[in-house]
Structure 1
Amino acid sequence: MAPAVPAAPAAPPAKPGTGEVPCSVPELVAAISAANRKAGAETLRLTPRCVYRLTAGANPFHPVNGLPVITDELTIDGRGATITRVASAPRFRVLLVGTTGMLTLHSTTISGGSATDCPAYPDVPGMVCGGGISNLGSMVLTRSKVTANRAESELYAQGGGIDSPGNATVRSSVVSGNTVAYKGSENGGAAAGGGIANDGPLTVEGAQVINNMAWVRENTESFAFGSGLAGLAQTTVKNSVVRGNRSLAPGGFARAALTNGASPELGRMTVTGSFVQGNLADAPNGVAQGGGITNNTLMTVSNTHVSGNRVAARGGTARGGGIRLGPKAVLELSRSSVVGNVVSAREGTAQGGGLDNPDGGRLTGTRSRILRNSVSAPDGTALGGGLYQAVGTTTLDRTVVSGTRAIDGGGIFKRSGTVTLTDTQVVFNTPNNCRPSESVPGCVG
């Protein structure tokens, strides 16, 4: 089921307003400022493989961005160049696309940013968004990297690598090693979107969102979610990889690498032809929900492999190793695999090794495989190796649940609600297939 990654696009063609930028930060700042002043589209070609090292914000009176705010239509063809904030510099993000800005960023690395404000919410002191890039307008990234950026706050932080309330496309690019963090001491803070957070329409295509982190200060009952991508508006993930991301919330709430929290009015999250694998949600003495995916609204997952994700909450509650549904979730899962995901909660409660539908969501699985998932809780409770179901409804059509493990309900554990099996096999699970006995019509053993 390897995704068919589209061929990397060629460099944008030169436009009449094309300019060559020497390997010099002052020259780059001047070129962007000049492009903003000119009418019409402009293209800047950076020096191949140059490292533009930012040591101060571009605006000395408001030094929150390393480069001038993009306010017009601009293409930056990096030709392998890097734009980075040096570690010894004061904190600032690298790049802001303003509400009137239209940026195409090609073959460029953005790194080292450390945001201090949230341009989308300037009236909320202490909120921090977009460590590397904040996009209020329109942005397209192709063959680029956004890496090792940071957004941290004592109130609320969003988008360690990219924050996009505007319209954005991330294509054939890598978003890696970014961090979003809540460092406050009050209860109820949050860190969302270690790699990307979007409050506006977002398309991620042929991209890698890998090794990002969302974390919150311990014992503050705060929320770390979307360590790879936190979708808060219409989101499409196509032919992409979401891998190795981590949400950490000791004594708080840790949620999946890929989270969908958009209201129905803002649109659906669609994931197709992708891999969501090897991610971790960890909440010692807290609540960890969803290793790979957490869905709280409308979502479609098709032709996608959700595998090897982990949920851990020693002394707490761990749920949904592969996918977890919230109370208002509607999930359509088709032609996909939920394989080898693990939920563990020593001295706690572990539920739903593959799928967790505990609060009233609606899950429909069609032509899918739920295989070799497991839940364990030494000195605790472990239920539903393949599926844990309560309150809501689950329909599995032409699907296989096999090789899954739990203390009870090795295949499916139904606390309440409805589970309907249509041409579906629930077989060879340990120590049993469905519990309580006869709770799932058509499931034996």
Structure 2
Amino acid sequence: MSRRRHVPAVLGLVAGALVAVPAPAAHAAPVQVPCSVPDLVAAINAANGSPGPDTLHLARSCTYKLTAPDPVNPGNGLPVITSKITIDGRGATIKRDERGHKVPKFRILLVGPAGDLTLTRTTISGGFATDCPAFPDPPGLACGGGISNLGRMTVTRSKFTGNTSQSDVFAQGGGIDNPGTGSISETEVTGNHVVYSGTDLGSGAAGGAIANDGPLTVTDSRLTGNTATVTADTQSFAFGAGIISFAETTVENTVINKNRAFARGGFARAAVSNGVLEPGTMKITGGSISDNTSDAPNGTAQGGGLATNALMTVSGVKISGNRAVAENGTARGGGVRLGPFGTLELTDSQITANTAEAPGGTAQGGGIDNPDGGSLKAERNKVLRNTATAKGGTAQGGGLYHAGGPEGLGTTTLKNNTVTHNRAGDGGGIFKASGVLTLNGDEVRANRPNNCSPVGTVPGCTG
């Protein structure tokens, strides 16, 4: 963290001369940008070339329709942001005007490594990423349909809608991709899409709304109705339909709702996901993760609401109505799922009415699933009315499913939680297959057909 030092101004004589502190440089007056794409392009180019920060005021409620990419950087609709620029949209929209299929594909904005963009009161729409500026090798990746930030980015009171990142190699960040340093507040990211359209096995699409590879804070925002999809039967991963984190990420008081990951014959993983590329923690505080779906027919659905395979802390969050669905496959963790490298601290949250559903297959952990060696510490949570169901198959752990993983190292430590009114084929409250699971002042009751299974595997749990 940087320090600021306040040095008192000193007025004195040095070698007979008067030394004065120079006055700060004046900020340029805001530039009023008419409702015209050429004027907007010219204003950004002029701001990039000026020595200090610049503010652009867009025409109120104007729609700037981009019909051609930037000639210098054709992956983008507007010139790359290379200096400190504020764009105050004042209700304006910047969109790629598709006009059928006549307009080339390009994202709307790219913030370069030296750029510093503040975007406020602006809608970004219709962008379509064709490259990945932060990761150009291997070629063919696509990142950030609406905006890709390699420098610094502050977004407030804005909207990203109908943007797409699609690739036959790997795609991430349907609405926003952040390899730089970013902050998003009071912003809606809705109806964006990330798509893997290739045929190679084991690739993926990550972050329907947002993908983060650099420090990012999301506050008081809404991530709704975004999708992550992959080509059927490629054993590929569709994950983080709301947000995927590969680095330090903080999410506060944000609604993550009705996002969908779909992977027929592959892996569909959670509206909120993190990975193991960087050591940063994903911290989620307040807000809700609700009514999201991970759907993997003939495949594996891993977490309907959130999934962690790295470091994650969750506090005061409502995780409700999420579904992990895998017809003739495996559905794990309707609300929450831990991977083999996952470490989760879950406190003061509600995990309610989530479902792991696998007709003809295996469903485990309607509320919470820790099956592969992860580490879960859960305190003062309510795990209520979750369901694991598998008509014609196996359904275990309505509230919680735990197994130690291949090496038996996985641990679940519960303290002062309430696990009630959950339902499964077996272990309506808790099913423990192996590993270490401990209770400490937890209330486990009124689950169907039983509270804990197999009998005697969970000390302190009966019935």
TM range (shorter): over 0.9
Of 279, 282, 288 in structure 1, the residue corresponding to residue 295 of structure 2 is 282
Distance 1:358 1:25 in 2: 53
- Is 1:30 matched up with 2:42? yes
Q: Which residue does the alignment assign to 2:407?
A: none
* Paired residue type of 1:384: G
Counterpart of 1:39 in 2: which secondary structure?
Answer: coil
Distance 2:139 2:151 in 1: 22
Counterpart of 2:423 in 1: which secondary structure?
Answer: coil
Distance 2:373 2:332 in 1: 15
| 1:63 Cα deviation after fit | 1.6
Q: Which residue does the alignment assign to 2:460?
A: 442
Q: Which residue does the alignment assign to 1:252?
A: 266
Of 332, 338, 358 in structure 1, the residue corresponding to residue 351 of structure 2 is 338
Distance 2:204 2:258 in 1: 21
| 1:17 Cα deviation after fit | 3.9
Retained in 2: the 8 A contact 1:373–1:403?
A: yes
- Is 1:106 matched up with 2:96? no
Of 82, 95, 104 in structure 2, the residue corresponding to residue 84 of structure 1 is 95
Q: Which residue does the alignment assign to 1:411?
A: 429
- Is 1:432 matched up with 2:434? no
Distance 2:168 2:341 in 1: 29
* Paired residue type of 2:426: D
Distance 2:393 2:385 in 1: 21
* Paired residue type of 1:394: T
Retained in 1: the 8 A contact 2:227–2:261?
A: yes
* Paired residue type of 2:50: K
Provide Cα deviations, 1:13-68, integer angstroms capped at 9, x if missing partner: x9524100000000000000000000110000000000000000122x54211000
Superposition pairs of residues 46-445 of structure 1, within 5 angstroms: 46-59=58-71, 61-88=72-99, 89-263=103-277, 266-391=279-404, 392-445=410-463
Counterpart of 2:439 in 1: which secondary structure?
Answer: strand
* Paired residue type of 2:182: A
Q: Which structure has the bigger radius of gyration?
A: 2
4+ aligned runs moved over 6 Å, structure 1: none
* Paired residue type of 1:378: K
Counterpart of 1:194 in 2: which secondary structure?
Answer: coil
Counterpart of 2:31 in 1: which secondary structure?
Answer: strand
Of 32, 38, 43 in structure 2, the residue corresponding to residue 20 of structure 1 is 32
Provide Cα deviations, 1:337-370, integer angstroms capped at 9, x if missing partner: 1000011100000000000000111111111100
Greater displacement, 16-25 / 240-249: 16-25
Counterpart of 1:410 in 2: which secondary structure?
Answer: coil
Equivalent pairs, count:
430
Retained in 1: the 8 A contact 2:338–2:370?
A: yes
Retained in 1: the 8 A contact 2:190–2:223?
A: yes
Retained in 1: the 8 A contact 2:27–2:52?
A: no
Provide Cα deviations, 1:320-340, integer angstroms capped at 9, x if missing partner: 000000111111000001000
Considering Cα pairs closer than 8 Å and 6+ residues apart, tell me whether 1 or 2 has the greater RCO.
1
Of 41, 44, 55 in structure 1, the residue corresponding to residue 56 of structure 2 is 44
* Paired residue type of 1:393: T
Counterpart of 1:52 in 2: which secondary structure?
Answer: strand
| 1:153 Cα deviation after fit | 0.5
Counterpart of 2:301 in 1: which secondary structure?
Answer: strand
Q: TM-score, normalised by structure 1?
A: 0.96
* Paired residue type of 1:207: S
Which residues of structure 2 form unaligned runs of 5+? Answer: 1-25, 405-409
Distance 1:129 1:381 in 2: 39
Which residues of structure 1 form unaligned runs of 5+? Answer: 1-13
- How big is the alpha-carbon RMSD for the aligned residues of Structure 1 and Structure 2? 1.0
Distance 2:436 2:173 in 1: 37
| 1:200 Cα deviation after fit | 0.3
Retained in 1: the 8 A contact 2:312–2:345?
A: yes
